Structure 1
Amino acid sequence: MVEGRVPAIDIQDFPGQYQKLREACEVWGCFRIVNHKIPLELMSEMKAVVRSLLDLPSDIKKRNSDVITGSGYMAPSEKNPLYEALGLYDMGSPQAVQAFCSQLDASPHQREIIEKYAQAIHELIMDIGAKLAGSMELDSKLFMEWPCQFRINKYNFTPETIGSSGVQIHTDSGFLTILQDDENVGGLEVMDSSGAFIPVDPWTGTFLVNLGDMAKIWSNGRWCNVRHRVQCKEATIRVSIATFLLGPREEVVEPPREFVDSEHPLLFAPITYEDFRKLRFSKKLQAGEALALVRALS
């Protein structure tokens, strides 16, 4: 692990990478994925589709409705005026992907690219989930039925906004996020264990994985839920593509029994992802503070 740099995990080198993966989860709460099987050409084609969809007229983008709060179109807001996004829930469902394409009048070519990318990225995020479970010597199928949310993001940076925040400091509410960031435009920063923000420089052909609040609950505090933000570094459009492995549809999230003992008492009360997400929204606690509200009774 290189000091001051988010660690890189070779997805083809397992079980050799298990220890490095555990350390990345415990120290950083994020890591790069290299040597994955998603073709660079597909990643590039998907980015072009994302740009075109986010350039659509606002009346078309508004058809992208929520299934759960925040899963559909997000217009620029007072809190995040430079940011907008489109999304769908659940990207593991071909029907949901088709509905997303129909809402936005996607062309046959755009549909083909979106479907290919959705299938490939869903397979990758399930593989990462399996390897995370394997790193803790647990069943690799633990997360197979958990839904995934898909979000494509656009930052409208201008000369006047250089030095400002493209999106506020936050943690992700779900279990993990896999991000295809903009290979040409930087600005993403993650908080390290000292509380300092570390730039995450673009790296073509790789994905960044962030752990969220559900991972902190599930691991009984062993793993970090990384705080991150996007800063405006230059006057240009920045796009990114995010897939969120959320939490089980109905069951509560709680640590496996192997994670709780006399030296590691239960830190958080069992809670469903949906209830936790509503708690974050209602209390407007977006940077991991909501976890303090689900502390286990001592």
Structure 2
Amino acid sequence: MSADGAHITTEDSNITTVMEFILLGFSDVPHLKWLLFGIFFLMYLSILMCNIVIILVTRIDPALQTPMYFFLSNFSFVEICYVTVTIPRMLVDFCAQKRNMSLLSCAMQVWFFFTFGGTECFLLTVMAYDRYVAICKPLLYALTMNHRVCVQLLTACWVCDILVVTGETYQIFSLSFCGSNRINHFFCDIPPILRLACGDTFVNNLAIFVVSAVLIMVPFLLIIVSYGKIICSILKLSSAGGRSKAFSTCSSHLIVVVLYYGTVAVTYIRPNPNASEGIGKLLSLFYTVLIPLLNPIIYTLKNKDISAALRKLPKKLLT
């Protein structure tokens, strides 16, 4: 058996097995390298700072000690982890001559990326359920959404997602990869990785479709059901002010759901997984960078409680 850098060649079978990948990233536009580096670096810093501020205000301000903001602070924490899986590596690749990533590192990036991404999906579902109970069953809200239940729901989000993602990651990286080791992407994503696998990957693509449907479509449908009931309850309110307040508490969450689920669903539940790699890379930028940047802005601009807490934050930090 002879080894050669990123490949190992087995003499008996004359099959070259890939041992590491090369992320092409944005190497097709070298003249924009430093411009893109600056843009993504500033976006990453903005995402970190905005989400840290949300975590601070939801933990410090007594008015925000409610289940809704408990889940929002956890969502912000997951969002920080989610973007940190991909953007720092992308920034390093802008500066590096070699963009090599070992098979193990690639598998770890896939696991962490889908663990945090899937947990976000489940958290958005739990947040929709919280709004459903608050608006449709207000008298039972304190009992139904007590702290113990909130912690149990949060734990369930993590456990369910980790179990599914661990099994799927093991299945993908149990495959043999041969031939090209170049991934036309800025991180180790499942569709471009499967294109490099040896043999027929129909079963694996089918499994990805099913898992994506479970992690994306099932939570999305539950959110739609929750908001269907919420809208019906709001329309029954006699007070126009009450209807306006109820809609305002849900609108920011609904905008985030539509943006996030829309781009993720198009990427992972496409009928043709071998569609243009360029389109896949562009869509990935939406849900890995742009939407995480917009999320805290949407929550702060559309939420009067957080806006008020932000105005009081400097004084609380200085006292």
Fold conserved (TM > 0.5)? no
Higher helix share: 2
TM-score, with length taken from structure 1: 0.30
Query: Of the two, which has the highest radius of gyration?
Result: 2
